[in-house]
Amino acid sequence: MARLPRLTPAGIPQHLIQRGNNRQVCFCCEDDFVAYAGWLREYSQQHRVKIHAWVFMTNHVHLLATPETDDGIARMMQSLGRMYVRYFNRTYRRTGTLWEGRYRSCLVQSETYLLECYRYIELNPVRAGMVHHPSDYFWSSYSANALGKSSSILTAHPEYLKLGRYPKQRRARYRALFDAHLERPTVDEITAATNKGLALGSSSFKEQVEQMFNRRVTEGKVGRPRLAGG
């Protein structure tokens, strides 16, 4: 099935995945993570994209972001990807591509799935068997969102701010969300929507997006179309 054209309207959160080509390693040492984080901060600010959650794995990256312009995320990812590839190739004396084509993304309904995406992203190292708890993994936004560590990359989303009136209260309620792992159906739903470029949310949210932008954001019907009179 052909991939749907990318839809990145301003003001709607998006979950993004950027993978290394053929799942190859794209972060070999701490300096690589530091370099990528610095350029993520620079280009997200330059292209007016608010980053709410992130995790850098050895061969891929997850971001939860809201653009202020329709082309903000595309411009940010293009600038970030090109700069990091130049750095990586120069550092490791290699040539050629690093990323697996274009990044994957899906629109996220704030009221129903946004905090689930926070958890999905920051629990990635746990699902991968790298750590027992997200607090044990350094290269993610968990330490900022849950523990209050200062971050020049993150901007709190309004749904996160609704968790409590005061920062300490918000962090405590956010940590409580991680007392249980995400259910497998939720993980599969987020993964599928992102890989296929669909929308993540209620039926009414998906219908609203399709009407506003005249583009399908749900699964197409499987199989050949029926002939008239068949």
Tell me how many degrees the CA angle 102-181-187 measures, rounded to the nearest 5: 35
Give the alpha-carbon dihedral of 203, 8, 197, 85, to 10 degrees. Answer: -160
pLDDT at 3: 60
d(CA 91, CA 107): 35
Write a three-state SS string for 62-102. EEEEEECCCCHHHHHHHHHHHHHHHHHHHHCCCCCCCECCC
H-type alpha helices, the chain? 30-46, 72-91, 110-122, 124-127, 142-145, 158-161, 167-176, 184-196, 203-213
pLDDT at 158: 97
Whether the per-residue pLDDT at 147 is higher than 50: the answer is yes
Instruction: Domains for the chain: give ranges and CATH numbers.
Output: 14-202 (3.30.70.1290)
pLDDT tens sequence across 45-91: 999 999 999 999 999 999 999 999 999 999 999 999 999 999 999 99
Q: Which of 3-17, 31-45, 171-185, 215-229 shows the highest mean pLDDT?
A: 31-45
Strands 60-67 and 14-19: antiparallel
Please state, in angstroms and as integers, the Cα–Cα distance from residue 82 to each residue in 47, 61, 73, 163, following that order. Answer: 15, 15, 14, 37
Please state, in angstroms and as integers, the Cα–Cα distance from residue 125 to each residue in 80, 104, 140, 190, 223, following that order. Answer: 23, 19, 9, 16, 37
Q: How confident is the model at residue 217 (pLDDT cuts 50, 70, 90)?
A: confident
The SS3 assignment for 154 reads: strand
In contact, 140 and 121? CB cutoff 8 Å: yes
Whether the per-residue pLDDT at 222 is higher than 60: the answer is no
